[in-house]
Every structure is written in C-alpha cells, then in structure tokens.
Amino acid sequence: MAELIILGTANSIPSVEHANTHMAVRSRSGTILIDCVSTPVIRLERAGIALDDIQDVILTHFHPDHVSGVPLLLMNMWLLGREVPLRIYGLNHCLKRIEDMMSFYQWENWPEFFTVSFHRLPETEAEVVLQNDELRILSSPVHHLVPTIGLRFESSTSGRHIAYSCDTEPCDEVTRLASGAEILIHEATGRSPGHTSAAQAGEIAARAEVGQLLLIHYPVHPAVNPDLVHQAGESFQGPVSLAEDFMHIPLE
C-alpha cells in the first residue's frame, strides 16, 4: 500500500525532534526518497526503510538543507555492498552541482561503486518524473531563490492526490500543482523572499481548493509556534495541521 512518510519537518535549522524537511514515498515497487539531508541512514533506519529498497531519489533544489546528505547516502550504500543502480532526478541546476560535489569526493575512484544515473527534468509544469503501477509523480517549477521543483503524488489505484510545494514564495504554479488535491503539504518558513508564511499557505490552499493543509518546513527554534495552524486557518476553511517527523500519510 502506497504511503508518504515524513522524515523531517524543520526549515533550514533542524532540532533533535525536527530534521530538515525531507520525505519518502513507499509503494510495492520500492521507496522513492524526496531530498536527502544530514545523515540519511539514521532517519531511514528509524522509519524502517532499508537502503536497498530505495531505487529513486528526487532532489528538489540545491540548498544544503535539502541535499547535504547525498554524498553520505551514496557512500553508505556503497560500503554496504549495494549492487542495484540508483536513479537521481532533478533540475539541471541541482544535478550539475550534485555531480560537482561528488567529484570533490573523487567518487570515480571508489572501487566497485554501483551505477548512479541522473535524470534531468525540464523546467516546465506538470512533468512526469516517474510512474509505476501504483503511482505517478509530477513536478512543476516553483519560485524559490534557486531553480526548485514542487511535486504532486498521484495514486493510480485510489485516485488520491497529494501536492508538496517545496521551498517557494506564493505562486500560481503551486496553486495549479495542488489544484483539487486531497492534501497540500506546504512550506511555512515565514514571509520572506523565496518563502511563504502560514497565512499565505492558507490562501494558496483555499485557492487550490484542496481538502486539507499540512504545514511543513516551519521554524523550530526556539520552539514551534502553535499559532501557525491558526494563521493558516484564517483563510482556509478545511483542516490544517503541522506535519510531524515520522508521520505516515496514506496515498491509497
């Protein structure tokens, strides 16, 4: 049964209870990791996800709080004897820098390293990133400080759709990406260039006519502000809640 597992919920400054925002989509055909931060193996172990179960990694943009874990993930997979290939999807801006970052680690000299393939996504709306019997994942460019994609997860068995804004300021692309989805997972970093406040996320949720709003990528220092839910609820009439680390969201 397909599900989305939230692996982190913090904005760029994590805490013990809140890792940087990243997540995984689990289905019968394997697990897809969405962004890769800090020491990925620890979070994945706690979520009960085996490294060999991950065949696909989607990277939303090249900021440290979204991709800093990639070198360690690849190295750990290699040292654990991985043989199956790994596919990494993202915009050229991000993947080019991932390749540069790995070349600093001279990964071409890692003996018997498994195959990693890069899949460059066009910077256009509603691009199919990948598709299997159970689900389809679409990407759309959003408005952040560097080229960034938001995602939409669509279950082909249940028809349930979940949209994820990623890091962005309010924009029509996110509204269209989320249009009519059962759940919108929207960032709530705060009102600043390239980001969105909880109140603005509520406005987007209302405009996209989603069923439910889940706030993510929110400030956790000094503490999570419980008013975020209230602020989003001022313009959105549906249920609003805060995403929490290790939350499971059914896709079916």
Give least dist CB 81 to Zn ion, A. Answer: 33
Give least dist CB 143 to Zn ion, A. Answer: 11
The candidate with the shortest Cα–Cα distance to 167, out of 137, 183, 144, is 144
Q: Which is nearer to Zn ion, 155 or 168 (CB)?
A: 168
Q: Which is nearer to Zn ion, 38 or 235 (CB)?
A: 38
The candidate with the shortest Cα–Cα distance to 156, out of 178, 185, 130, 123, is 130
- Given the rule CB under 5 A, which residues bind Zn ion? 63, 167
Q: Residue 48: which region, alpha, beta or left (left: phi > 0; alpha: psi -120 to 50)?
A: left
Rg over CA atoms, the chain: 17
Give least dist CB 97 to Zn ion, A. Answer: 13
Q: Which is nearer to Zn ion, 170 or 233 (CB)?
A: 170
Distance CA 216, CA 151 (A): 14
> Residue 146: CB partners within 8 Å, gap ≥ 6?
61, 62, 63, 93, 94
Give least dist CB 63 to Zn ion, A. Answer: 4
Q: Which is nearer to Zn ion, 86 or 166 (CB)?
A: 166
Give least dist CB 251 to Zn ion, A. Answer: 25
Q: Which is nearer to Zn ion, 143 or 160 (CB)?
A: 143
Q: How far is CA 231 from the centre of its chain?
A: 23
Write out the E strands in the chain.
3-8, 22-27, 30-34, 54-58, 86-90, 116-120, 127-131, 135-142, 148-155, 161-164, 183-187, 212-216, 240-242, 248-250
Give least dist CB 61 to Zn ion, A. Answer: 6
Q: Is the distance from CB of 227 to CB of 197 less than 8 angstroms?
A: no
Written as six digits, the tokens of 47 are: 């979520």
Number of continuous H segments (helices) and E segments (strands) in the chain = 7, 14
Q: Which is nearer to Zn ion, 63 or 152 (CB)?
A: 63
Give least dist CB 142 to Zn ion, A. Answer: 10
Q: Which is nearer to Zn ion, 63 or 82 (CB)?
A: 63
Distance CA 252, CA 156 (A): 9
